[in-house]
């Protein structure tokens, strides 16, 4: 089961910042999950919300700022005791950094609220620029964005993101549209959903799990990935669980 750092180590550091990504790697995560959007001047940036109000000291929509304007806002607003300032990173900046690590990346295409023109293509172009084709996957709540990703990069692994309620017969749904993965909220998973995904060979990466109960349940279900705000805690628990099982076998 992969440890996937949700927006980096977002439980302890400012989400979707280079600091959060670096700390996630230091914690032993297998993969980083992040979100991409477009600025007014078509720069692909890493930020979750369409509005910058929650995570920065600015206000307004990402799409209404040039990157030169956007990078002046402090993306560490919610963690004043952790760091003084963090900028909103570009996806290009992130890829240049992650290319030097062994970490894979789950790229969420944020086209579910505002449909950015050519966001999929611009994102794929940057992935290819750094030779990361085999070290990324894509996810989105807008499943048409995943269809577009498949047109641009047929070999790309894609995961259908669903809300807390999920979707019935998820395995068949993902299989029908060529999506290799299903990314449900933890509350939307049942034994039936898990069985359906396994039947059709669909991988399950589940968000956002920060409890011991959730960790244990996903492990028992045999889910492929856990998306968590606390990758260090998750890594420690998984390593301990595996070591215990190994000792029992011995």
Q: How far is CA 64 from CA 4, 86, 205, in A?
A: 31, 20, 33
Specify whether 48 is catalytic: yes
DSSP SS3 for 105: strand
| Whole-number Å distance between alpha carbons of 103 and 126 | 17
Q: How far is CA 116 from CA 84, 160, 163, 190, in A?
A: 31, 19, 21, 34
| Whole-number Å distance between alpha carbons of 115 and 113 | 7
Specify whether 175 is catalytic: no
Residue 33 burial (C-beta neighbours within 10 Å; 0-12, 13-18, 19+) = buried
Catalytic entry in 48, 143, 175, 183: 48
DSSP code of residue 188: G
Nearest to 229 by CA among 11, 1, 16: 11
| Active centre residues (catalytic) | 6, 48
């Amino acid at each position: 089961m992969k440890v996937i750092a949700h927006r980096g180590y977002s439980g302890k550091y400012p989400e979707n910042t280079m600091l959060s990504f670096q700390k996630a790697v230091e914690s032993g995560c297998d993969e980083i999950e992040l979100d991409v959007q477009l600025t007014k001047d078509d720069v692909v940036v890493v930020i979750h919300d369409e509005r910058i109000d929650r995570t920065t000291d600015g206000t307004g929509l990402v799409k209404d700022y040039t990157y030169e304007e956007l990078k002046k806002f402090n993306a560490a607003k919610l963690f004043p005791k952790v760091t003084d300032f963090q900028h909103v990173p570009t996806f290009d900046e992130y890829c240049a950094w992650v290319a030097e690590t062994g970490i894979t990346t789950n790229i969420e295409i944020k086209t579910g609220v505002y449909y950015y023109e050519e966001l999929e293509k611009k994102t794929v172009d940057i992935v290819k620029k750094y030779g990361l084709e085999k070290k990324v996957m894509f996810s989105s709540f807008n499943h048409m964005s995943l269809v577009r990703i498949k047109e641009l990069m047929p070999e790309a692994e894609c995961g259908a993101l669903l809300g807390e309620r999920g979707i019935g017969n998820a395995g068949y749904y993902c299989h029908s549209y060529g999506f290799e993965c299903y990314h449900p909220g933890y509350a939307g998973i049942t034994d039936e959903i898990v069985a359906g995904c396994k039947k059709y060979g669909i991988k399950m990466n589940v968000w956002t799990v920060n409890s011991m109960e959730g960790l244990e349940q996903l492990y028992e279900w045999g889910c492929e990935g856990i998306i968590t705000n606390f990758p260090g805690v998750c890594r420690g628990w998984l390593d301990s669980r595996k070591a215990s099982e190994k000792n029992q076998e011995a």
